């Protein structure tokens, strides 16, 4: 039978209280807490978590949380792990403007519509709705196109479900995407029309190295050649010294022969 002390402890962990936070972190002031890990404690009520306004990293995975409204005041939060809970509404964290990484795998997010509120999170770079390692998922993941929808919804996302989205969020990605769209638009009946003769982008001789009349540049060019020449000499000497050493070591390692 459980003791009264064990029951009290269970009740305390079911709801986040000032006492729980202070005992876990050793901090006397909730505003001093920067990192907090409250994993698998049976928590269903976030209680006073919103008073930790300077929190930067928060792990609430493996609990029984359904309502995340108290997280709305955590505007400095950078990393948030809410995996393995019972959350269906993510709208409250739309005000966590510093958020860069969000893990909500293993919850009850049913559609991509529930993610629209998070489009205001301009710094968000990583979203996890599914985690194959722990077999965590969300109902929305059953939608075959959910991945493409999310990538369109969050152009700055670099990591989705633990997989890096190569090139996203960069000028190069956008350039390649524009080129692909342009090429697709040029095809007619599956055929690429004949292209007109195109001139080179640059004139002949553009890439040739031109010697400057500037005395400073000429002197630098001369010094560079001198250093290069010295490097070649040193390399040759080093190769010779290595060869001599190898020969000497080889002679020493040869078995001695005695006349019989």
Examine the pLDDT at 211 and tell me if it is beyond 60: no
Mean pLDDT value across residues 3-24: 69
Separation between Cα atoms, residue 37 and residue 43, nearest integer Å: 12
Phi-psi region of 200 (alpha: psi -120 to 50; beta: other; left: phi over 0): beta
pTM: 0.62
Percent with pLDDT over 70 in the chain: 70
Sign of CA dihedral 21, 26, 28, 32: negative
In the chain, alpha helices (H): 4-14, 18-25, 146-153, 171-186, 215-253
pLDDT at 51: 96
- The pLDDT assigned to 224 comes to 76
Q: Estimate to the nearest angstrom the gap between the alpha carbon of 239 and the chain centroid.
A: 45
For residues 191 and 248, give the distance between their C-alpha atoms in angstroms, rounded to a whole number: 70
Percent of the chain surpassing pLDDT 90? 50
CA distance 76 to 74: 6
Mark 21-30 as b/e (b = at least 16 C-beta within 10 Å).
beeebeeeeb
- Give the pLDDT confidence of 225-251 residue by residue, as tens digits: 777 878 888 888 888 888 888 777 776
3-state SS assignment for residue 229: helix
Q: Is the pLDDT of residue 34 over 90?
A: yes
Q: At which residue do the structure tokens 């040759």 appear?
A: 236
């Amino acid at each position: 039978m459980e003791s009264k002390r064990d029951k009290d402890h269970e009740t305390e962990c079911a709801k986040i209280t000032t006492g729980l936070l202070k005992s876990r972190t050793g901090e006397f002031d909730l505003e001093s807490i920067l990192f907090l890990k409250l994993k698998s404690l049976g928590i269903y009520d976030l209680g006073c978590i919103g008073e930790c306004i300077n929190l930067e990293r928060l792990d609430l995975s493996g609990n029984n949380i359904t309502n995340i409204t108290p997280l709305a005041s955590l505007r400095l939060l950078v990393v948030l792990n809410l995996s393995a809970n019972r959350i269906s509404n993510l709208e409250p964290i739309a005000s966590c403007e510093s958020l860069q990484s969000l893990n909500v795998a293993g919850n009850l997010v049913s559609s991509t519509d529930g993610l629209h509120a998070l489009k205001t999170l301009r710094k968000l770079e990583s979203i996890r709705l599914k985690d194959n390692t722990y077999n965590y998922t969300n109902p929305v993941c059953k939608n075959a196109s959910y991945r493409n929808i999310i990538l369109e919804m969050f152009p700055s996302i670099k990591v989705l479900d633990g997989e890096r989205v190569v090139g996203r969020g960069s000028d190069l990605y956008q350039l390649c995407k524009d080129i692909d769209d342009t090429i697709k638009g040029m095809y007619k009946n599956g055929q690429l029309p004949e292209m007109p003769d195109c001139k080179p982008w640059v004139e002949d001789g553009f890439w040739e190295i031109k010697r400057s009349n500037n005395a400073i540049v000429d002197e630098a060019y001369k010094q560079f050649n001198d250093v290069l020449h010295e490097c070649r000499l040193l390399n040759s000497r080093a190769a010779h010294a290595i060869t001599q050493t190898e020969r000497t070591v080889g002679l020493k390692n040869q078995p001695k022969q005695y006349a019989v």
